[in-house]
């Protein structure tokens, strides 16, 4: 890993850990498949999304796609999933042009949150 990527990743983790969460109202459990397009690769987007979602105890995965977009499946309380999506759309070092969201069936098996390489 080069020095720039290490530095960027350290900043991304610091930034994601410094976000203040609102008081979340209890809400239903959902699973959403999301595709972010725009300038979302090589800016720490996956790591930011992963860190915020992990703090909120969401499950699922996030990965880069070959077309330059980022895809994720997130499962947890709807208010928390929506907070992650809103945070990522407003991320200053990225530029989300489009965000496609579809509801998909909830997975009942216990899974962790992962970054797919």
Q: Catalytic site residues?
A: 46, 64
Put the strands of the sheet holding 95-104 in their side by side order. Answer: 95-104, 29-39, 70-77, 59-64, 113-116
User: In the numeric block, which tokens belong to residue 39?
Assistant: 């300038």
Which letter does DSSP use for residue 45 in this model? Answer: H
Cβ(86)–Cβ(32) below 8 Å: no
Q: Which residues contact 37 (CB under 8 A, 6 or more apart)?
A: 67, 68, 69, 96, 97, 98, 99, 100
């Amino acid at each position: 890993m080069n020095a720039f990527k290490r530095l960027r990743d350290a900043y991304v983790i610091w930034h994601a850990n410094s976000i203040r969460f609102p008081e979340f109202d209890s809400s239903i459990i959902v699973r959403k498949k999301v595709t972010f397009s725009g300038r979302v690769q090589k800016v720490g987007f996956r790591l930011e999304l992963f860190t915020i979602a992990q703090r909120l105890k969401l499950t699922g995965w996030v990965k880069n796609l070959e077309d330059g977009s980022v895809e994720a499946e997130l499962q947890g309380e709807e208010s928390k999933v929506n907070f992650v999506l809103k945070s990522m759309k407003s991320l200053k070092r990225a530029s989300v042009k489009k965000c496609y969201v579809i509801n998909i069936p909830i997975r009942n098996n216990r899974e962790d949150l992962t970054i797919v390489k």
